Structure 1
């Protein structure tokens, strides 16, 4: 299960990072469209829409990035956050459904619960 926790952590970091990157791309496109419009009001509206899209994408992607970091760092709280986000990902067909299902399978496993409760294996003493 250790490997599955690492894989799931990286899946959430990558998917959250990709979503954030899409938000930055949308904000850039809207900002450039506003800049090329030539009218101040249009530029302001387009820039505002781009900023709104970026804000929404950031709010949606940051929990996934935090979860991925928590899983990779063996944080006990990451299990609860992971279960919640995995359930929410089930509604994002098709890729989110796969990640959500895999996340539930990994995080609802008893061995995963024990591993995350023990914390980072690198920080445990060898006694």
Structure 2
């Protein structure tokens, strides 16, 4: 299951970076179109649209990167954020849906939960002491 956890973490980071890249491209293309036109009204409208769209993509991309990092570091909050991000990924048909289902399967697995519970600050694995 540890290999699946690493895959989910890496894919989250890749999806997040891709989302930020798309946000940047959208901003450049949409705002650039208004600037090229030379019309002040067009520049204003396209700038507002560019900021809004790139902002939306960034709002979804940044948690994806943070979740991926947390999952790779086996942080308990990373698993929780990963589940939330996986649920949001389900609406991105078809690739996001496939990944969202896979991520939910991995992150909600009982073995995965135990792996995340064993980790403590500093990356030290703490074994349970039975009395």
- Asked if Structure 1 and Structure 2 have the same fold, meaning a TM-score greater than 0.5 normalized by the shorter chain, the answer is yes
3-state SS of 1:92 partner: coil
**What stretches of structure 2 of length at least 5 have no aligned partner?**
127-131
Instruction: Tell me the TM-score normalised to structure 2 length.
Output: 0.87
Answer whether contact 1:90 1:98 (CA < 8 A) is retained.
yes
CA distance in 1, matches of 2:90, 2:125: 38
Aligned match of 1:112: 112
Moved over 6 A (4+): none
RMSD: 2.1
Displacement of 1:15 in angstroms is 0.6
Q: Report the CA distance shift for 1:111/1:21 in structure 2 as closer, same or farther (over 3 A).
A: same
Mapped pair 1:32 → 2:32: yes
Answer whether contact 2:119 2:125 (CA < 8 A) is retained.
no
CA distance in 2, matches of 1:17, 1:61: 7
| Count of residue correspondences | 127
Displacement of 1:87 in angstroms is 2.1
Q: Which structure carries more relative contact order (alpha carbon 8 Å, separation 6+)?
A: 1
Instruction: Tell me the TM-score normalised to structure 1 length.
Output: 0.90
Displacement of 1:71 in angstroms is 0.4
CA distance in 2, matches of 1:93, 1:31: 27
CA distance in 2, matches of 1:94, 1:120: 36
**What stretches of structure 1 of length at least 5 have no aligned partner?**
none
Aligned match of 1:46: 46
Alignment of 1:8-87 (within 5 A): 8-87=8-87
Answer whether contact 1:5 1:112 (CA < 8 A) is retained.
yes
Q: Deviations over 1:28-83 (max 9, x none)?
A: 00121111111122112111111111111111111111100100111111222222
